[in-house]
Amino acid sequence: MTLPDIRTAIVSALASSGLGDAVKAHPGVLTESDVKTILVNTPTAIRVGCMGIPAIARTDMGVEYTLSWAAYILAQDRAGAPRDETAMTAAVLVAGLVAGNVWGRDDLESPVNITADNLYSGALDNRLIALWAVTWRQAWTPEGMDASTLDDLLRVVVDWDVNPEAEDKPAPTDTIELAGGSVL
């Protein structure tokens, strides 16, 4: 499986837990311009993104990637529900759903270092928006990838002319066999 598959599994799990259509995938770190557009048609939104891979290690099981995830919770005021209360309540719910969750996958370990942070700022408050972030790290050890499923990068031939001024001599060409039958 791939990182987008994991993100989709996280979004699906959070959405099916009662958070519904408010939960969507996000390409990465939430920016100010994102905040401007996300809450256009909804008073509450949750965006899930992969923040990076802060550690990679070879283990007996293969290569283990430590994934860094964030679920951003944005809220605006609603009748009877102030934005700060809505955002902090949703943050607690999301953090509880993250704890121990492997998103229905057997290539992930339980999340660690789960935090929920209030990202309050005067600028957001002036725009009547509350913002929280639930972050966590999760180890992923994918099964080996089948090189035949990769795009057309199965065979690469590299030609170079080591003496372009001497046109009467042929330019050397080299073909290098790689593990798995690929050629470079």
Q: Place 75 in a pLDDT band, splitting at 50, 70 and 90.
A: very high
Q: Does residue 109 sit in the same domain as residue 23?
A: yes
Amino acid in the structure at residue 78: R
Q: Does residue 40 sit in the same domain as residue 9?
A: yes
Q: Does residue 115 sit in the same domain as residue 24?
A: yes
Which of 124, 140, 156 delimits the end of a domain?
Answer: 140
Q: Does residue 47 sit in the same domain as residue 116?
A: yes
pLDDT for 73: 97
pLDDT for 40: 83
Average pLDDT over residues 105-109: 96
Structure tokens of 137?
């790290």
Phi, psi of 133 (to 5 degrees): -135, 130
Q: Does residue 122 sit in the same domain as residue 181?
A: no
**Distance between CA atoms of 28 and 50, rounded to whole angstroms?**
6
From the list 147, 140, 141, the residue with the least C-alpha distance to 50 is 140
> Total domain count for the chain?
2
Residue 29: give its domain's CATH number: 3.30.2000.10
Q: What angle do CA 88, 91, 94 make, to 5 degrees?
A: 155
Q: Does residue 85 sit in the same domain as residue 43?
A: yes
Q: What is the domain extent for residue 101? A: 3-140
> pLDDT tens digit string along 118-141?
999 999 999 999 999 999 999 999
Which of 140, 157, 173 delimits the end of a domain?
Answer: 140
Q: Does residue 53 sit in the same domain as residue 105?
A: yes
Structure tokens of 143?
């099964």
Residue labelled with tokens 């066999």: 177
Q: Does residue 162 sit in the same domain as residue 124?
A: no
Per-residue burial over 108-126, b if 16 or more Cβ lie within 10 Å, else e, is: beebeebebeebeeeebee
